[in-house]
Amino acid sequence: MAREPTVLVMKFPPPYSSLPSSSELKARLARFGPLDHHSANRVFWQSFSCRVVFLHKANAEAAHRHLSGQNTLFGNVNVRCLIRPLAESKVQPEDALTDSVVELKLPALQPVVLLKSCLKKPMG
């Protein structure tokens, strides 16, 4: 079997509160074939998705068929799956399934205003 690293992306429905951990994903999906442990197997908590890299395309396709048919690996959850070659995934770093980046804006500098207390009695 020719080595053709393939990415399996799983998208869980948003109210799904307990995504599988990275080690749990590896344990459950290893039955379909060897995984590439050096690639970016990741769990994206904000987008409710996971990415696992199989060493062989046929193994990723077998996992995709199983998850698309029964969804019993993760309970009765409607998991949407897709597969793509690993090279295609590396070319597109701005993947739609990655975590959203929160942009931090610094507050605008404002002139210093000396405030007077309304609780103090006026002097004099």
Q: H/E element holding 64?
A: helix 57-69
For the chain, the distance separating the N- and C-terminal CA atoms, rounded to the nearest angstrom, is 95
Tokens of 3: 């080595």
- Structural domains of the chain, ranges and CATH numbers in brackets: 6-91 (3.30.70.330)
Whole-model pTM? Answer: 0.65
Q: C-alpha angle 97/79/45, rounded to 5°? A: 40
DSSP state of 54: E
| Residue 60 near residue 8, CB atoms below 8 Å | yes
Percent of the chain with pLDDT over 70: 68
What is the model's pLDDT at position 98?
A: 43
Cα–Cα dist 80/49, whole Å: 9
Mean pLDDT, rounded, for 48-52: 91
User: Which has the minimum average pLDDT: 4-13, 56-65, 82-91, 104-113?
Assistant: 104-113
Mean local confidence (pLDDT), 91-103: 43
